[in-house]
Amino acid sequence: MTAENPRILLVEDEELNRTLVKAVLARAENTAVRTAEVLDAASIAVAREQLSTEDVDLVLLDMNLPDGNGLTLASELAAGEATGGRPRPMVVAVTASVLPQDRAAALKAGCDGFLDKPYAAADLIAIVTANLSRRAT
Amino acid sequence: MTRHWSPLVLLAAEFTFAVLFLRALLGYLRRRDPLQRDVTLVFTPCTLLVTVDLARHLSGGPLPTWVGAVTLTVLLTQPYLTVRLAGRLRAVPRWLDRLVLIALVVLAVPLIFAPRPLSAGVLLTLVLTFLGCELVAAALLFGKARTRRGANRARLMIAAGATMAFGAMIALIDVGTLAHAGAGFAPANPVLALISGFGYLVAFVPPRQLRRIFSASAAQSVTERLLRAPADSPEQVWQIYAEIMRVQTGADAVAVLMPRTDGLLAPAGYAGPPIPTPDELGFADLTALIRAGQPARLREGDSSLVAHYGDNLGDDFVTVLSMPVPPDAEGAVLLFNRHRGLFTDDDLRLLAALGGQAGILAERQAVAAAHRKIARELSVSVEALTRASQAKSSFLANMSHELRTPLNAIIGFSDLMRMEEPDGDRRRVPADWVEHIHSSGRHLLGLINDILDLAKVEAGRLDLRPAPLRVDTAVSELLTGLSPLLNTKRLTITMELAEATALADRVRFRQIVENLLSNAIKFTPEGGAITVSVSASDDDVRVTVADTGVGIAAADQQRIFEEFQQVGDPDQQHAGTGLGLALAKRLVEAHDGEITLVSAPGRGSAFTVRLPASPVLTFEEGPDAGIRVLLIEDDPQSAELLSTQLVGAGYHVDVAGTGEAGLVAADARPPAAIVLDVALPGIDGFEVIRRLKADPRLADIPVFFVTIIDERQAGLALGANDYFVKPVDQAALLGALARTIAARPVPRVLVVDHDDEIRRVIEEGLRAGGADVVACADGQAGLLLSREGHFDLIVCDMRSPEVDGFSMLAAIEKDPATRHTPVLGLTTADAAERRPGDAAPLVATAMAGGVVATAMAGGAGWETLAPLLGGSETAAKDKKENP
């Protein structure tokens, strides 16, 4: 883990889902995950803004966003853009678009992980923990 | 120098005339064709002139004066003969013919009797008159030429020119005589003679080579046009060929006959003045006419030809040409002319022969075009199918996505709940989570319902029950239900509800308007306004929902009616299934209605639903007791007569003026019998009975046709009980009605319910439907009644205070007398909440001999109970067969 309290950017337009992610992560056993600071963005535009000014360790990215497909942001990050020179965060796609082609597109866009909706709380915690630790090493 | 070649030219001209004359004469002798005779006659004067000249040359001295006079006189007849010839080819006014003849006779007298040498005045008059006559003849030929095309036209033009040249030549000879052989005229004579001779030669008896060129060019023209003409079907080809031939030959009419399978020739194409064409017509053998190869009077031809074409083309000439059609058929081309054609035989035959071949080519072309058209249509279909398949895939992908979104909250929050520390057998969880799960669950249910409804509409399996519906009342009820939502957003609602009755399914109508209203609420910012208006015209009812919301750009206005489409600023997208408007549109269309949108960004949206107005029903006022007969009859007089007869026999009569109205009336109040006319505006009586028999609730109603249309077999085959052809024997109709209605079992229903209000509602509903109802409040009494009453259906309250429904059911099941009787148990959806007088919603469960069917009973009237009674008759039969 990079810091005592890593930062996670949650890009998700459904408020209910944002509440859910925060509630799940707050109940993780892993301290780093439990204490992670969760920023949120309801659109790609807001996420870009956050990424350009904040240090972020992990981006949880919805695909179906009001201003486009979240994967465009994943591609920008993979290309080393959008972070204003800061190190690239890990990117996990969290989406209800679960067809094989969606998954392939996510991996092609440079996502580090892929989580299907609906997910079990344990799965969300597991993928966040794994990616935060990969980021730390 | 001229003196050297002038005699040679003259000789050539004379030779030409001699050839012309001989050819024409031979042609006439061979065929005895009057036209050829006239041509021969035209050349006779010229030939005489040639002969005289030749004789003068041979004798070496001047011929006697009388020879010159006779020659001149005969020459004078030439213009007249040319006019006669023209008269065979076209209409020549009788007066013109006579005028020319008189002019020439008047001139011939001084020419023969006047002393020689002729005076200059006589000669001048002679020349001018002669020239004038030639001019008339040439003009006639020229006029005819203008109506023709191609080689035909050229030949007639040349003939006209040659006539003029001949006239000029004779005039010059005369003027030469007048001027005593002035040197200047001498050479011009033989040249003009040669021009005239060649002209006639080319026009009337062209050398074989020239004739071939003429024919080839005509044939090519026909073939080209035929192949270029866009024919969509092989049948059209022959029609086009007939039209081309008409233009090409200048015929008044052209008919193409093709062999039928029975060998006779049948018309395949016709171009010309309209004739009354009998459809089925076969021509007998036309070989004789074909072999004649020259125009014949239509009346002298085949009698069937006269029968077919004779009326309008009575005195016309007809040329019949054989048209070989590859590979082995033989058709015929008929050319009709009010006047004789000058050039008949060879090139026409060639045109016909080529026509057959070109026709086959064109036919193939048409077949190929048809194939191409089919291929195009197929590829369009394939494209449409591909698009539909893609739309389906993307619909499924979207649906999966939409379903997963609320499921995510449900599973996620319930998962979180499981993670909370248990406190005994409970867990302490935030109330919010429960709320999230519940609302997501509702959202999911809404989605599933919408998807199912959409699928039903798409598959055409939506079970619509259109009935007269007071739209204004329904809308205001809906708005009352939505008022909490309206208050939360502080929306002002304005209602402009005119009284209106539409023909609509109540449940679906609510769904449509609810979708529009929730849409308006969703997209209107806080403090905005929504206006709901209902208006009615004779034919339709309009419901408009207008808001002051974000509005929709013109480009997006079609798209919002598609599944999963939300439009506008993505940052302002709203939660929703994206199915509401798509579903509303389909539901409206299923009602034969229409949904329209008027909107502009920033200026709000107004959705208008148009539904068909309910047909006006004339229910007779009065108590429900008595036997009800529905009369479906559009003619007011017939309706009144029948109605009077039926009322006289003691029936209550409802009258519907259209099939649709009749169906609505039957649906609203199923009558004991239906008297049905066949010829009705809109759907006819046969369609009405078909629909009646397809509806299980209405299928058993006896139907009697009373109509002027004698289709008894069809009527009975469709399930009518009897069929009467107007004028109807009153006694027979009333007798049949009475017998049928008496034979129809009246279902007996036992109603057991302790709630007076509900019992009364059920009882009334069943009575209105024609059932014999026994009702009691007490369960114990009900059980006793059930054993003795021989009921077809027992309706019982499941929560009766004395005997609860379940023990009552058990008792009924046990008793052999009632074991097969269907039982309808009534409970409210949530039994605990049932209050006295609360008639809806009730869950009805029908149980009969171990068979259990469940039905949602919105109320508990006849409409919902009748389908269950249908089964009771079967059960009753079972009871009789297996005691």
B515, B593: one domain: yes
Q: Do B436 and A99 touch (CB under 8 A)?
A: no
| pLDDT-wise least confident of A59-68, B311-320, B545-554 | B311-320
Residue B510 to chain A, least CA–CA distance (Å): 29
Minimal-distance CA residue of chain A relative to B406: A118
Domain end call among B206, B224, B256: B206
CB neighbours of residue B294 within 10 Å: 18
B709, B752: one domain: no
Q: Do B412 and A64 touch (CB under 8 A)?
A: no
Q: What is the CATH number of the domain that holds A47?
A: 3.40.50.2300
For chain B, the residues whose C-beta falls within 8 A of a C-beta of chain A are 397, 400-402, 404-405, 407-413, 415-416, 419, 432-433, 436, 440, 570-573, 575
Residues of A in contact with B401 (CB under 8 A): 64, 96-97
Q: Choose among B405, B419, B571: nearest Cβ to A121.
A: B419
Q: Choose among B410, B419, B571: nearest Cβ to A66.
A: B571
A-interface mutation test, from B390, B405, B411, B550, most A Cβ less than 10 A away:
B405
Check whether B722 has a pLDDT greater than 80.
yes
Mean pLDDT value of segment B278-299: 60
Helix (H, G, I), strand (E, B) or coil at A94: strand
Check whether B435 has a pLDDT greater than 90.
no
| pLDDT-wise least confident of A15-24, B7-16, B168-177 | B168-177
Name the token pair of B615. Answer: 């047909």
Check whether B614 has a pLDDT greater than 50.
yes
Rounded to the nearest 10 degrees, how much is the dihedral formed by the CA atoms of B370, B375, B376, B378?
120
B516, B650: one domain: no
Q: String of b and e for A32-59 (b: at least 16 CB within 10 Å)?
A: bbeebebbbbbbbebbbebbeeeebbbb
Q: Do A66 and B401 touch (CB under 8 A)?
A: no
Q: Is A100 on the interface with B (CB under 8 A)?
A: no
Q: Do A16 and B433 touch (CB under 8 A)?
A: no
Residue A121 to chain B, least CA–CA distance (Å): 6
Structure ipTM:
0.84
B62, B186: one domain: yes
Check whether B425 has a pLDDT greater than 70.
yes
Q: How far apart are CA A62 and CA A52, in angstroms?
A: 19
Which has the higher per-residue pLDDT, B1 or B592?
A: B592
Q: Choose among A43, A98, A118: nearest Cβ to B412.
A: A118
B200, B218: one domain: no
- Give per-residue pLDDT as tens, B19-69: 878 888 887 887 677 777 888 888 888 788 778 877 877 777 666 777 777
**Is A2 domain-assigned?**
no
B537, B647: one domain: no
| pLDDT-wise least confident of A4-13, A108-117, B834-843 | B834-843
Q: Where does the pLDDT of residue B292 fall: very low under 50, low under 70, confident under 90, or very high at 90 and above?
A: low
The length of chain B is 883
Helix (H, G, I), strand (E, B) or coil at B739: helix
Q: Where does the pLDDT of residue B852 fall: very low under 50, low under 70, confident under 90, or very high at 90 and above?
A: very low
Helix (H, G, I), strand (E, B) or coil at B491: coil
The pLDDT of residue B541 is 92
Q: Is A118 on the interface with B (CB under 8 A)?
A: yes
B759, B731: one domain: no
Could you tell me the residue range of the domain that residue A12 belongs to?
A: 7-136
A-interface mutation test, from B571, B572, B574, B577, most A Cβ less than 10 A away:
B571
Residues of A in contact with B436 (CB under 8 A): 16, 19-20
- Contact between residue B464 and residue B664 where contact means Cβ atoms under 8 Å apart: no
In A57-76, the residues whose Cβ lies within 8 Å of chain B are 64-68
- Contact between residue B624 and residue B767 where contact means Cβ atoms under 8 Å apart: yes
Among candidates B782, B739, B748, B711, which has minimal Cα distance to B879?
B748
- Contact between residue B795 and residue B753 where contact means Cβ atoms under 8 Å apart: yes
Q: Where does the pLDDT of residue B576 fall: very low under 50, low under 70, confident under 90, or very high at 90 and above?
A: low
Q: How far apart are CA B114 and CA B125, in angstroms?
A: 13
Helix axis angle, B730-743 to B636-648, nearest 10° = 60
The pLDDT of residue B544 is 94
Minimal-distance CA residue of chain B relative to A101: B397
Minimal-distance CA residue of chain A relative to B419: A27
Could you tell me the residue range of the domain that residue B513 belongs to?
A: 467-611
Q: Do B416 and A118 touch (CB under 8 A)?
A: no
Q: How far apart are CA A60 and CA A70, in angstroms?
A: 10
Q: How far apart are CA B736 and CA B730, in angstroms?
A: 10
- Give per-residue pLDDT as tens, A19-61: 999 999 998 888 888 889 999 999 999 999 999 888 899 999 9
Highest mean pLDDT out of B252-261, B269-278, B702-711, B775-784: B702-711
Which has the higher per-residue pLDDT, B161 or B468?
A: B161
Residues of B in contact with A120 (CB under 8 A): 411, 415
Residue A1 to chain B, least CA–CA distance (Å): 25
Residue A136 to chain B, least CA–CA distance (Å): 27
B218, B357: one domain: yes
Q: Do A98 and B433 touch (CB under 8 A)?
A: no
Query: Percent of chain B scored above 90 by pLDDT?
Result: 6
Cis check for the bond before B117: say yes or no (omega within 30 of 0): yes
Residues of B in contact with A68 (CB under 8 A): 570
Q: Find how far residue B4's CA is from the centre of its chain.
A: 80
- Interface contacts (A, B; CB < 8 Å): 74
Q: Choose among B400, B412, B573: nearest Cβ to A121.
A: B412
Domain end call among B711, B743, B775: B743
Mean pLDDT value of segment B141-165: 81
Residue A21 to chain B, least CA–CA distance (Å): 8
A-interface mutation test, from B404, B421, B572, most A Cβ less than 10 A away:
B404
CB neighbours of residue B322 within 10 Å: 18
Q: Where does the pLDDT of residue B300 fall: very low under 50, low under 70, confident under 90, or very high at 90 and above?
A: low
- Give per-residue pLDDT as tens, B178-187: 555 444 445 5
Residue B681, judged by CB atoms within 10 A of its CB (0-12, 13-18, 19+), counts as: exposed
Helix (H, G, I), strand (E, B) or coil at B571: helix
Q: String of b and e for B70-80 (b: at least 16 CB within 10 Å)?
A: ebbbbbbbbbb
Q: Do B408 and A97 touch (CB under 8 A)?
A: no
Residues of A in contact with B410 (CB under 8 A): 118
3-state helix, strand, coil in chain B (%, to 5): 55, 15, 30
Q: Domain total for chain B?
A: 5
Residues of A in contact with B578 (CB under 8 A): none
**Is A60 domain-assigned?**
yes
| pLDDT-wise least confident of A89-98, B39-48, B110-119, B252-261 | B110-119
Q: Choose among A45, A67, A96: nearest Cβ to B401.
A: A96
**Is B437 domain-assigned?**
no
Among candidates B564, B606, B598, which has minimal Cα distance to B581?
B564
**Is B436 domain-assigned?**
no
Q: What is the CATH number of the domain that holds B521?
A: 3.30.565.10
Q: Where does the pLDDT of residue B628 fall: very low under 50, low under 70, confident under 90, or very high at 90 and above?
A: confident
B703, B766: one domain: no
Residues of A in contact with B432 (CB under 8 A): 19
Check whether B618 has a pLDDT greater than 50.
no
**Is A90 domain-assigned?**
yes
B151, B242: one domain: no
The length of chain A is 137
Q: What is the CATH number of the domain that holds B298?
A: 3.30.450.40
**Is A57 domain-assigned?**
yes
CB neighbours of residue B591 within 10 Å: 22
Q: How far apart are CA B197 and CA B159, in angstroms?
A: 10
Q: Domain total for chain A?
A: 1
Partners of B123 in the β-ladder: none
B565, B633: one domain: no
Minimal-distance CA residue of chain A relative to B437: A16
Residues of B in contact with A99 (CB under 8 A): 397, 400
Q: Choose among A24, A66, A68: nearest Cβ to B412.
A: A24
Highest mean pLDDT out of A65-79, B51-65, B180-194, B207-221: A65-79
The pLDDT of residue B570 is 41
Alpha-carbon Rg for chain A, nearest whole angstrom, is 13
Q: Choose among B408, B416, B573: nearest Cβ to A27.
A: B416
Q: Do A96 and B397 touch (CB under 8 A)?
A: no
Q: How far is CA B238 from CA A102, B243, B697, B855, in A?
A: 61, 9, 58, 66
| pLDDT-wise least confident of B125-134, B246-255, B283-292, B435-444 | B283-292
Q: Where does the pLDDT of residue B9 fall: very low under 50, low under 70, confident under 90, or very high at 90 and above?
A: confident
Q: Is A103 on the interface with B (CB under 8 A)?
A: no
Check whether B509 has a pLDDT greater than 70.
yes
* Mean pLDDT of chain B, nearest integer: 75
- Give per-residue pLDDT as tens, B638-652: 888 888 888 877 788
Which has the higher per-residue pLDDT, B349 or B542?
A: B542
Residues of B in contact with A24 (CB under 8 A): 412, 415-416
Q: Where does the pLDDT of residue A125 fall: very low under 50, low under 70, confident under 90, or very high at 90 and above?
A: very high
- Give per-residue pLDDT as tens, B385-412: 888 787 777 778 778 888 888 899 999 9
Among candidates B613, B607, B608, B606, which has minimal Cα distance to B592?
B613
B23, B153: one domain: yes
Q: Do B412 and A66 touch (CB under 8 A)?
A: no
- Give per-residue pLDDT as tens, B653-688: 888 888 888 988 888 888 889 999 998 888 889 999
| pLDDT-wise least confident of B44-58, B340-354, B431-445, B771-785 | B340-354
The pLDDT of residue A21 is 93
Residues of B in contact with A43 (CB under 8 A): 570-571
| pLDDT-wise least confident of B120-129, B441-450, B709-718, B860-869 | B860-869
Which has the higher per-residue pLDDT, B414 or B302?
A: B414
* C-alpha torsion sign, points B645, B646, B647, B650: positive
The residue with tokens 């920033």 is B602
The pLDDT of residue B410 is 92
Q: How far apart are CA A79 and CA A108, in angstroms?
A: 12
Element (H, E) at B273: none
Residues of A in contact with B417 (CB under 8 A): none
Q: Where does the pLDDT of residue B866 fall: very low under 50, low under 70, confident under 90, or very high at 90 and above?
A: low
Q: What is the CATH number of the domain that holds B703?
A: 3.40.50.2300
